[in-house]
Amino acid sequence: MTRSRWEPPPEIVEAANSTRFARAHGLASREELLARSIAEPAWFWDAWARFLPIDFDEPYDAVLDASRGPEWGRWFTGGRLNLAWSCVHRHARGPLATRDAVVAEDERGSVRRVGYAELSQAVARAADGLAGLGVREGDRVALVLPMSVEVVVAYYAIAHLGAVSVPIFSGFSAQAIASRLVDAGVVCVVTADGSERRGRAVPVKATVDEAVAAAPTVRHVVVHRHAGLDVPWAAGRDVEWADLLASGDPARPHATVDSEHVLMIAYTSGTTGRPKGAVHVHAGLLAKLSQEAWFQADLKDGDVLHWATDMGWIMGPWATVGTHAAGNTLALYDGAPDFPDPGRLWRFAADHRAAFVGVSPTLIRALQQHGTEHARAADLSALRAFGSTGEPWNPEPWRWLFAEVGEGRRPIVNISGGTEIGACLLAGDVAMTLDPCSLGGPALGMDVDVWDAEGRPVREGAVGELVCTAPWPAMTRGVWNDPDRYLATYWSRWPGVWVHGDWASVAPDGQWFLHGRSDDTLNVAGKRIGPAEYESALVAHPAVVEACAVGVPHEVKGETAWCYVLLAPGREPSDELREELGRAVEAALGKAFRPGRIAFATALPRTRSAKIVRRAVRAVALGDDPGDLSTLEDPAALEAVRAAT
């Protein structure tokens, strides 16, 4: 093993879940398993459903029905089941009953532990309480909750009842929440009085009340007293979470629903217009999320998993369902991961003996500037691997996490897919060699490729469109209430081919990489270049902690790059520094790629999942409408970009 990339030692390859699964099915290695899973997807998903197992109340007739075309593939047809049973209730009735299902810590340091038996009873009680409010199978129930025990209970309770969950980030504006409530036709909202972030109270219910005023379908608002805030109360509409649980029957049986019964509507932003509601179903999402946590996180019996995320992002359900499907422990943290100091994440991982910790590159860039002392002070002996998703890595932060924090002994399992995918298209594995910033390769069962503009596969490092040429179980069953938008967005470029909107490449050694969104990519003098390449060159400079590159029209080159940078503490903007950074980009990319402008900003717009929204930066730079901003953590960051432009 070297400190420059992950090269798994033989004992880790032998013990890896992917190796074990492959050999249990007569295959010699993960490579053979991957090849067969792509060539015979029905075999793979059937084998996984039986291996986990996914408990079907009534067995399925066929693994895949693609009679309507790959756009509308249906999985495990004829089967009936309930995701809440497979993730919670079956564990509560066996030897795992007393194992911690959830460990939740808040910013003040309070910790709650809930075992599987206790979680099972709470889920049934909450489901029965919701039924008492008139919630029926198929009704939509929104979750606007911090990452606490209650968000897990509510998520499974809605599934238990056969209703449809609509997870929404609890830090959204009222307008953003309202747009989702209206689009989904939500009848009930489960929320909290408030939460805490960086030591300050966040009044969640007040925002929800404003949103509900614009959503006439909402009949009830269930409120968990999480932060101890005084909140307005609407008699007849508002219900105490504690009263809902107290009134519910812990023996209420779960609804047995069709495999294709809708489980969740997960919203993701478009470049314009209203957010898109990705439709996910019980069997398909359960199959995909469970196998990804088992293979990619390589969870062993009794492991603890933590991902720094929110239930309103797909990684919230990924971590929750993926961890619980195998009966392991989910560790939740409600608060800023670098508060009150940059060691908070590492202490959290140490205190709860996390085996797998998921982060974003943006978070690591923020922690890197504080050095390694905080990570070194924490006992990370239980930690075997990091997870990562959300955006492409820059080499220096990747190397810092891998070599300095991980000491070259813990791989960074980089994965990428999206809300509409239900999980991942590309994924690393602890049993694979992983180069810096690499995503490894195709996720198991995913027939992905990289195509040029003419629809031909490209290799040898050439950049092209990331596509998928066959259906998979967790693919969205359309855009909620808008099938035409679904087809136009993902399936209209080439017949029967999903175009994901990411630029990707496959290196000569077979390692896969992403280069940003395809609508973000620059075309400078006829040469395609991803914004991440500019950003990597800039953040490699010690004065820069974050960078965002966007393409703007140029009368000679077609496009040129405008780069916005955030400076490290103690560094000040200057013409000399701007020139120095320009030369650094020129040295990294070539003279033709020198940025047309380098601007010093004080903030950049990002989503709650920490992704910089380049399209919004570009729109501000050009004076255009930035489109849907509902996923921004702080819309005021756009003013910082405007001031720097």
pLDDT in tens, 448-462: 999 998 999 999 999
Mean pLDDT of 148-166: 98
Mean pLDDT of 582-597: 88
Q: Which CATH number fits domain 520-644: 3.30.300.30, 1.10.3720.10, 3.90.650.10, 3.40.50.10490?
A: 3.30.300.30
What's the pLDDT score for residue 270? 52
- Residue 270's φ and ψ, nearest 5 degrees, are -100, 175
Average pLDDT value over all residues in the chain: 93
Q: Among residues 201, 227, 198, which one has the least CA distance to residue 339?
A: 198
Q: Among residues 158, 123, 126, which one has the least CA distance to residue 142?
A: 158
The pLDDT confidence band at residue 636, using thresholds 50, 70 and 90, is confident
Mean pLDDT of 572-590: 92
What's the pLDDT score for residue 361? 87
Q: pLDDT at residue 517 above 90?
A: no
Q: pLDDT at residue 440 above 50?
A: yes
The pLDDT confidence band at residue 160, using thresholds 50, 70 and 90, is very high
pLDDT in tens, 58-112: 999 999 999 999 999 999 999 999 999 999 999 999 999 999 999 999 999 999 9
The pLDDT confidence band at residue 1, using thresholds 50, 70 and 90, is very low
Mean pLDDT of 135-164: 98
Handedness of CA 278, 279, 282, 284 (dihedral sign): negative
Q: pLDDT at residue 221 above 50?
A: yes
Q: pLDDT at residue 18 above 50?
A: yes
Q: How far apart are CA 192 and CA 476, in angstroms?
A: 29
Domain layout of the chain by residue ranges: 520-644
Mean pLDDT of 323-333: 98
Q: pLDDT at residue 319 above 70?
A: yes
Which percentage of the chain shows pLDDT scores above 70?
98
The pLDDT confidence band at residue 271, using thresholds 50, 70 and 90, is very low
Whether the Cβ atoms of residue 499 and residue 493 lie closer than 8 Å to each other? yes
345, two tokens = 């994440």
| Burial (CB count <10 Å: 0-12, 13-18, 19+), residue 245 | buried
What's the pLDDT score for residue 121? 98
